[in-house]
Amino acid sequence: MVRNILIAVCAFLFVACSKDTESKLFGKWQLQQVEASGTIQETDTVYFNFEHSLFMYQVYFPAVDSFLHCYGYNVMEGDKTLLLELISDPRPVEKFLPYTDWDSTKRTYTIDKLTSKQLILNSKGKTYTFRKF
């Protein structure tokens, strides 16, 4: 009985203390700033949500207190490359893209920093700084 409890506790600690990239990425991240060509743009209306291989891109519109979102998938390639893909579900993804800075349904990011509180991504000459929400 004691042995089974010890095994269960050890398994729980192993899962809870996992430090791999995918488990750190899990959750909701709020975009705080975008830096491009030395110019920094502050923002607080864009959210990236990660749950295993699923991804949701959210844009908040404070004037109407409403979110627009699009679902998709995320794939990690190694520890530093993050591939995101938006899908039509049920709304066509092409209607969502104008609210983003994406030029297609797929985007590749390089992870510059990932901690339990901060995520810094790079793509197409821009640096995106997120905080865990």
DSSP 35: E
Per-residue pLDDT at 4 exceeds 90 = no
Give the residue from 125, 109, 124, 89 showing the smallest Cα distance to 29: 109
How do the domains of the chain map onto residue ranges? 20-132
Give the CATH fold of the 20-132 domain.
Lipocalin (2.40.128)
Distance (Å) of CA 53 to CA 10, 72, 83: 26, 9, 10
Confidence class for position 92, pLDDT limits 50, 70, 90: very high
- As given in the structure block, the two tokens for residue 16 are 């809870």
Q: Name residues whose C-beta falls within 8 Å of residue 26's C-beta, 6 or more positions apart in sequence.
A: 50, 51, 52
Per-residue pLDDT at 13 exceeds 90 = no
Q: Mean pLDDT over all residues of the chain? A: 88
Confidence class for position 1, pLDDT limits 50, 70, 90: low
pTM here?
Answer: 0.82
Percent of all residues in the chain with a pLDDT value above 90, rounded to a whole number: 78
CB atoms < 10 A from the CB of 83, how many? 14
Chain centroid to CA 26: how far?
A: 8
Give the residue from 126, 130, 132, 133 showing the smallest Cα distance to 35: 126
